[in-house]
A and B are shown apart, each in its own frame.
Chain A
Amino acid sequence: AQSVSQHNHHVILSEAASLELGCNYSYGGTVNLFWYVQYPGQHLQLLLKYFSGDPLVKGIKGFEAEFIKSKFSFNLRKPSVQWSDTAEYFCAVAEGRRALTFGSGTRLQVQP
């Protein structure tokens, strides 16, 4: 069965610091990759997704992620975080028509 690992459970950064959240998955075939974000008190929403093509994908609010097939990784990055980025971030993976498998989430706290 597919599994997704997010190694950072809780990250604390100061505003303007750079962010990188790790995500690794277990399946070796063709997968679709996603990052979702859940802001305090809000719904889970899609940050960005990768299906194929350029392995560097850009999402909303200045986030980007890089797919490295050889490392089974899809790490999320942002050059300079803001206080408003405080949220929980989830990596998710799916094979074609199969359902999403989510990682355990990373809680990001940005201090002003």
Chain B
Amino acid sequence: KAGVTQTPRYLIKTRGQQVTLSCSPISGHRSVSWYQQTPGQGLQFLFEYFSETQRNKGNFPGRFSGRQFSNSRSEMNVSTLELGDSALYLCASSLAQGSYNEQFFGPGTRLTVL
């Protein structure tokens, strides 16, 4: 069974631009969560989608948004990029919502904002 895939793997943008990251969950998984990983802040939860609805949201500004499609694939969008948005963005999928379901992580998308 294929794991969680994320595209692109690397991205370089400039301040003020916007970016869209994509995540394909493991087949059969309906929940997708997004995390931001930085050396200073560690792993921080962005949001979780289940059945195309946002179920949980972390403490990030509205510039960070996401969506989930009917096939459970998810996209994350960051508008008006800032230097501090440079990070590894991780996607994790699980069978269903809630921490009782094991999350499987993808390789991440490394975003660099210049």
Contacts and interface: CB of A to CB of B under 8 A. Distances in A.
Interface string B74-114: 00000000000000001010000111101111111000000
Contact of B105 (A45, A49, A96): A45
Interface residues of A, number: 24
Band of interface residues on B: 20 to 34
Interface in A37-61: 43-46, 49, 51
B107 A90 contact: no
Nearest to B43: A102
Interface of B: 3-4, 33, 35, 42-45, 48, 55-56, 58-59, 90, 92, 97-100, 102-108
B105 A43 contact: yes
Interface of A: 1, 32, 34, 36, 43-46, 49, 51, 90, 92, 94-105
B74 to A, nearest CB: 14
Contacts of A94: 99
Nearest to B107: A43
